[in-house]
A and B are shown apart, each in its own frame.
Chain A
Amino acid sequence: MSPTSRLPVRTPTQQETHGRRDRSITDQDANAINRVEELSYDLKVHEVMTANMQIATPDMPLSAVLEILRINHISGVPVVKDNQLTGILSLEDIVRAMQKNELSAPVSQYMTSKLITVASYDPIVGAMQKFSDSRLGRLPVVDEDHRLVGMITKGDITRGILVALQKDYKEEEVRRYRASHLFEDIVSDRTTLVLRYNIKAHDFTHGGNASSHIKRALLRLGADPQTARRCGIAVYEAEINLIIHTTNGGILKLEVESHRITMSTTDDGPGIPDINQVLQAGYSTATEQVREMGFGAGMGLVNIKRCVDKMDIESTVGKGTKLVMRIYVPTENFNGRKDEKPNEPPTDHRQS
């Protein structure tokens, strides 16, 4: 091969077009999301590993392994003898052999026998720790008797977590059924369920989590989808406002009664100098960073107003802002008592 030979022109691979599929979850991500943390202890290595893998034996010539790597598009194989894991051979090892023109040498001569392994029965958090300490891309998985049972990559872990999270989602139906009887089962002259969420300023990563919980709570409680959607959109815009604009964050509160839903946000600053101005479509004080995220177009309060039956906003510069949003619902929404009449009729209905 001439040393000046160029790479042949080729079409991009699927991975190049779409990016890497082996997306890994960094430690930071894992810390940020509690359910993921939980799963990293619940899920075991054997549940996410790849069990069906290519292997090499110590006496195989390196050229044969190179062929295995090439055909399967992998960068390394475990070396197994009598069911026992004895080493790992990676492309780097083969390159070392190539430099000495020793591709016919046996695997045992070039393999790495100082091994970092993961136990199949360990929780995946152990594997994550080993990936982060060793900076390796794949680790062999062994059972109690040090027999090789699989390989694990960061991509396997991510995939396992994503699949487990999806299972959680499917369990939602059951929870919805249980909660929908709350208003029916608890008898009082007036039942109010209050949910409070603390919203941190500038915490975009968790932006929308509270709204998501609120919407789910409403659906679980038996709200009709249209009502839940209106509440969800209104409260989401309000939550994003707290994140974008407040000095110290604020509190998002949901009060559910059988005939109405009240959502409110309160914060302690900076306050709005001119309320009429912020109610105008397109007026915005958002930063470029916020706009890049798809927000800050000056539509937040306008959107809220469209979604709710009644919206009140009070603000004092230096003191803070209180936003109250209210939606009136038909009593059958929450399986509430049918004879209960709304205390405040929806006089201020949404304007068209």
Chain B
Amino acid sequence: MNLTKIIKLANGLLLTPNMDTNIEINGGYGADLMSDVLAFSQPDSILLTGLTNPQVVRTAQMAEFRAIIFVRGKQPQAETLLIAAQEGIPLISSPFGMFELSGRLHKAGLPSFESNESN
């Protein structure tokens, strides 16, 4: 699904200026636990999270997410924005909560990119 469409579905606001939103997002993953993100996500998806510290972007970069949506209208710290700009990862703020937003995106056809791989 195109990121522009996701932003529309999320009623979202692009926080990183001039970033290309015409990119393909293959799936979605939601978590507030960074170790879970690192362990169970699959690359080239979008991260839905309620955390806004700079580590979220680092984590997303390591796990190869293409974009991050902050749920419930949360605003990232300035450092978070800077790292995202530096790494070319679009940040989006959505007024919806994690469950609501996951539901909306999934219903619109964005598959879950949570891997079922167990320890």
Known A-B contacts A162-B85, A293-B34; the reply to A233 vs B62 at CB < 8 A is: yes
A233's partner among B55, B63, B87, B93 (CB-CB below 8 A) is B63
User: What's the Cα separation between A130 and B48 when bound, in Å?
Assistant: 38
**A232, B53: Cβ atoms under 8 Å?**
no
**A294, B88: Cβ atoms under 8 Å?**
no
Give the size of the chain B interface in residues (CB under 8 angstroms): 39
**B17, A207: Cβ atoms under 8 Å?**
no
Known A-B contacts A29-B79, A211-B58, A212-B58; the reply to A294 vs B34 at CB < 8 A is: yes
Is A300 in contact with chain B by the CB < 8 A criterion?
Answer: yes
Contacting chain B: which of A52-60, A84-92, A110-118, A164-172? A164-172
**B35, A303: Cβ atoms under 8 Å?**
yes
Q: Measuring CB to CB, which residues of chain A are less than 8 angstroms from any residue of chain B?
A: 14, 17-21, 23-26, 29, 32-33, 35-36, 158-159, 161-163, 165-166, 168-170, 204-205, 207-209, 211-212, 215, 225, 229, 232-233, 236-237, 240, 281, 293-295, 297, 299-300, 302-303, 306
The residues in B between 86 and 117 inclusive whose CB is less than 8 angstroms from any CB of A are 86-88, 93, 95
Chain B residues whose C-beta falls within 8 Å of the C-beta of A32 in the assembled complex? 79
Hey, what's the 0/1 contact readout for B28-71 against A, CB within 8 Å counting as 1?
00001111111100010000010101111011011110000000
**B13, A18: Cβ atoms under 8 Å?**
yes
Nearest chain A CB to B54 CB, angstrom units: 6
Chain A residues whose C-beta falls within 8 Å of the C-beta of B55 in the assembled complex? 204, 207-208, 240, 293-295
B88's partner among A159, A169, A306 (CB-CB below 8 A) is A169
Chain B residues whose C-beta falls within 8 Å of the C-beta of A302 in the assembled complex? 39, 119
User: What's the Cα separation between A25 and B111 when bound, in Å?
Assistant: 37
Q: A170-B88, A295-B55 are in contact. List 18 more A-B contacts (CB 8 A).
A: A18-B75, A18-B95, A23-B78, A25-B82, A26-B78, A29-B79, A33-B82, A158-B78, A162-B17, A163-B18, A166-B16, A208-B55, A208-B58, A215-B62, A225-B64, A232-B62, A236-B62, A240-B55
Q: How many A-B residue pairs have CB under 8 A?
A: 132
Is B23 in contact with chain A by the CB < 8 A criterion?
Answer: no
Q: Measuring CB to CB, which residues of chain B are less than 8 angstroms from any residue of chain A?
A: 13, 16-19, 32-39, 43, 49, 51, 53-56, 58-59, 61-64, 73, 75, 78-79, 81-82, 85-88, 93, 95, 119
**A165, B82: Cβ atoms under 8 Å?**
yes
The secondary-structure label for the interface of chain A is helix
**B32, A294: Cβ atoms under 8 Å?**
yes
**B43, A166: Cβ atoms under 8 Å?**
no
Chain A residues whose C-beta falls within 8 Å of the C-beta of B39 in the assembled complex? 299, 302-303, 306
User: What's the Cα separation between A17 and B74 when bound, in Å?
Assistant: 9
**B93, A23: Cβ atoms under 8 Å?**
no
**B93, A207: Cβ atoms under 8 Å?**
no
B35's partner among A23, A162, A212, A237 (CB-CB below 8 A) is A237
A169's partner among B43, B56, B86, B95 (CB-CB below 8 A) is B86
**B36, A297: Cβ atoms under 8 Å?**
yes
Known A-B contacts A18-B73, A33-B79, A300-B35; the reply to A163 vs B62 at CB < 8 A is: no
B119's partner among A225, A281, A293, A297 (CB-CB below 8 A) is A281
Chain A residues whose C-beta falls within 8 Å of the C-beta of B49 in the assembled complex? 294
Q: Can you identify 8 A-B contacts, CB atoms within 8 angstroms? A: A25-B82, A36-B82, A166-B16, A166-B19, A211-B58, A294-B37, A299-B33, A306-B39
Nearest chain B CB to A287 CB, angstrom units: 15
**B73, A19: Cβ atoms under 8 Å?**
yes
User: What's the Cα separation between A168 and B79 when bound, in Å?
Assistant: 17
Which 9 A-B pairs rank lowest in CB-CB distance, beginning with the nearest?
A208-B58, A299-B35, A294-B34, A169-B88, A165-B85, A19-B75, A162-B85, A232-B62, A18-B13
